[in-house]
Amino acid sequence: MGTRIIICSNCGTVNKNSDYCTSCNVLISDKKKRALKAKEVKEKQIKEAIDDLENQNLAERLKKHPNIFYKILGWIMYSVITVVSIIAAGLAWIIAMIAAG
């Protein structure tokens, strides 16, 4: 790998083969900085995916809510989602039938 010499942008100390400055402990490795950035982006994407999943399960979670008001709300949402998907499936079937002629 060889010797990597990185001059700290914070205090000017010359560091060899170090990700952090030996003098002031600032992160100086570009590779490490990029890796950290990539990790942040990945964590953000995972968090967004989890949020989406939680939204999809909102009706299911509300149905199990101890508060009766939320429970009813969950059932209403569940019914609406079910009815809408049945209508959508019906429409898709009708469109398919029309297209088939």
- One residue of 1, 5, 6, 8 binding Zn ion per CB under 5 A: 8
Report yes or no: 14 and 32 within 8 Å, Cβ to Cβ: no
Look up residue 23 and give its two tokens.
């003098």
- One residue of 6, 13, 27, 63 binding Zn ion per CB under 5 A: 13
62 binds Zn ion (CB under 5 A): no
CA 28, CA 76: separation in Å to the nearest integer? 55
62-71: long-range contacts (C-beta < 8 A, 24 or more apart)? none
- One residue of 23, 45, 55, 79 binding Zn ion per CB under 5 A: 23
Nearer residue to Zn ion within complex by CB, 33 or 44: 33
89 binds Zn ion (CB under 5 A): no
Which residue is associated with the tokens 């990700």?
19
Applying CB under 5 A, the residues found at the interface with Zn ion are 8, 10-11, 13, 21, 23-24, 26
